[in-house]
Structures are given as structure tokens and as C-alpha cells.
Amino acid sequence: MKFAIDAELPNTLGRTGTITTPHGEIQTPAFVPVATKATIKSLTPEQVRDAGAQVVLANTYHLYLEPGDEQVKNLGGLGNMMNWKGPTMTDSGGFQVFSLGAAYGKKGITKISHRELLLPKIVEEETPKIVTIDPNGVMFRSHTDGSAHYFTPEKSIDIQHNLGADIIFAFDECTSPYEPLHYQKQALERTHRWAKQSLEYHKSKNTSQALFGIVQGGRDENLRKESAKIIGDMDFDGFGIGGSFEKEDMQHAVQWCNSILPKHKPRHLLGIGEPVDLFGAVENGCDLFDCVSPTRIARTGMVYTKDGRINLLNQEFREDSKPLDDCTCYTCKNYSRAYIAHLFRAKEMLAATLASIHNLHFIISMVDTMRERIKNKNFENFKKDFLKRYYKS
């Protein structure tokens, strides 16, 4: 894997670049759609490509359980199996430590809906955790059949080697922002040790896959900077910035990390997809971002427009013959809001497909435009106009 910086955004950490992988180039900054179980839900790879995607990210934990990483390898690896002809990525499984462990059963905690991350709402429920962390690794119970599985850094790398994505991640522990500082320190020590193990084990194998190390540290400035220094000094091909953030913390954490991480390697902000967060992440020097949000909200009838999100199930759209937005995607060129609203009411699968195409296109082309505007030196105007209109503020 190679990375070259093409242009920079003055007085910020922002830049544009080109990542070259065995399966093609990625122009950055780039939004990465999530193919959790080796499919972007409700879409063919051609529809994902036509929506503008350059690269997709699949989940190691899910593919390990089903259909199994050996099985994916036998079917030619992730990209070949799912008929995605461009670059691919897999996460490390570490995020599941968080979502199935610390955050399991806590409805208020989510990496996706930062707006809902309001501390007083969170209630400790009696849900048993299905993850146990020890110094050497993590014991998962499968969320489907309850079977026990033990992940170590080496196991995560082995699985990701079988999955065969172009870019893979070191095994880490993602913590909740509500864990106390002493826990954050413990978890970070593990993450750093696991990063070193992941890297050493990866280097001992003969593979052309690129390995990214993950910076953690929660909301604490010292821990974030310490983590960026330690992970940044390791010989990774690039970096991920992990963690579940409160909204106001995110850009600080990103800035702390990226001011320290080596400039000439790509940086991936994990699990972020809100427009305002993406603008901040780009300005603060992130090159890649993945998020399930555009396709997840699409399946509920929620679509992005330049004037903010709309819910197609609202009465007002039943007779609305306009397209979803002033937009060049397949959905907007060919279908009305009223027809798509009908499909949602009728519970037709095509509803999810059409809304997902639009939402992916919306977010991807927003990031593509940021890239163009950095090159053309008029990023600030685009950001100001876009956010003002989108958030009506």
C-alpha cells in the first residue's frame, strides 16, 4: 500500500491524497460504506460503485462467525466472494468488545447516534455482558448461537489474513466515554500491547495486506496524545482513530491524535458518518471514515437532502412527485418521493434499495466535494453553505 498527499487545507490538518492498494486507488478523503456481513445491505456491488464508493469495509467478527473466515478464503477472499472489484477493508473485531460488552444492553450508548448520547438517559440494565476481557484477549459469546470464541491479537490477524482485505486493523479495545479514567488507562495499556503483538504477528506472515494501528484513549487529552505517540511510532501502514465519543469531544480527540500521528500515513476515523462530523474530521486531518448510518437510516425511510433529513413515512410525501433531492443519483433520476413512500408503506424491499442508493450517494459526494474544494482552495465556503442549509442554523 502507498499513500501520497496531493493537496493541503491551509491552517488546518486537512489534506487530500491517494492510497494505492492491490485492488486499486482510493482518492482521499473518502467515505467507506460498511458491508457488515460482506454485503452493503440491500445493494449490489454495482449499485454501491455507482453511488460513488471507492472502497468497502466488512466486519471481522461477523464474518468469522458466518460464513467463517476459512470459508471466505476458499471463496477467493472478501472482495472476490462478494463481487466487489475495488479495495476492501476489515475491522479488527475490537469494536464488538465495546458494543457487545461495555455497551451491551445500554440503549443510550451508540457509536452512531451521537446526538442521543446524553448521559442522564443511560440506565444500567440487567443484561448479561457476552464479552469477557482478560490481559491476553477477549472471550466472546456468539450473538447468534451462544457458542464461545476467544480472540487474541494474533487470532484477529489470522482471521483478517483469511478474509484477505487490502487494509486490515490491529486488535484493540474500544471503550465507552463513561468508563472512569483508571479503566481507560488499563484498556489503553492493553490496546497498545495488542497493537504491538498484531504488528509483529502480521509482519511474520507473507502478505501484501496493509495493517493500520488503532489509537484509543477515550475523552482524555493526555491518554489520546500518549496513544497517538505510541501507536504512531509503530511501523503501521496507517492508523485508525477509535472510540465512542460524545459529540462535543470528537473533534478535540481527532485533533489531538492527528497533530501527533505521522503525517505521511493515512488516518481512518472509525464509525463516523454525520455530515457535521465528517467536515470536522476532514479539517482535522482524517482521510477515511466508515459508517453504517447512511444505509441503516435509509432502511427506516430516513433520507438525506441538502435541507436536512426527511422521513419518507410522513404524510406530506404521499403525493410528492419530486425526487428525493436535487441530486444526480440513480434514485433521484428515476423515482418520485411518492413512489418510494409507497414502497416503504407496502414494505417492499426496493424501498430500502432506492433510499440506500441515495443516502450513500449523498454522503459520498459530499466528501468528494470536500476533496475537490481542498484542491481548489474553496473548502470553507462549501462547508459554511452546506452546514447552514443542512442544519438550518
Residue number with CB closer to a second copy (59 or 244): 59
Look up 134 and say whether it is catalytic: no
CB of 317 to a second copy, least distance (A): 11
Query: Considering only residues 6, 66, 116, 307, which one is a binding residue for a second copy as defined by CB under 8 A?
Result: 66
Query: Considering only residues 6, 22, 71, 328, which one is a binding residue for a second copy as defined by CB under 8 A?
Result: 71
Scanning 79-87, 90-98, 113-121, 195-203 for contacts with a second copy by CB under 8 A, the matching segment is 79-87
Per-residue contact string for residues 284-323; x = within reach of a second copy by CB under 8 A = ----------------------------------xx-x--
Restricting to residues 339-368, which ones interact with a second copy according to CB under 8 A? 339, 341-343, 345-346, 348-350, 352-353
- The CA distance from 214 to 238, in Å, is 9
- Evaluate whether 87 touches 55 at the Cβ level (below 8 Å): yes
- Evaluate whether 238 touches 267 at the Cβ level (below 8 Å): yes
CB of 341 to a second copy, least distance (A): 8
Look up 385 and say whether it is catalytic: no
CB of 348 to a second copy, least distance (A): 5
- Should residue 67 be labelled a site residue for a second copy when binding is judged by CB under 8 A? yes
CB of 363 to a second copy, least distance (A): 20
Residue number with CB closer to a second copy (123 or 346): 346
Per-residue contact string for residues 152-171; x = within reach of a second copy by CB under 8 A = --------------------
**Catalytic: which of 69, 91, 166, 220?**
91
Query: Considering only residues 127, 328, 334, 376, which one is a binding residue for a second copy as defined by CB under 8 A?
Result: 334
Query: Considering only residues 110, 113, 186, 336, which one is a binding residue for a second copy as defined by CB under 8 A?
Result: 336
Binding site for a second copy (CB under 8 A): 37-39, 41-44, 62, 66-67, 71, 74-75, 81-83, 318-319, 321, 334-336, 338-339, 341-343, 345-346, 348-350, 352-353
Tell me the catalytic residues: 91, 290
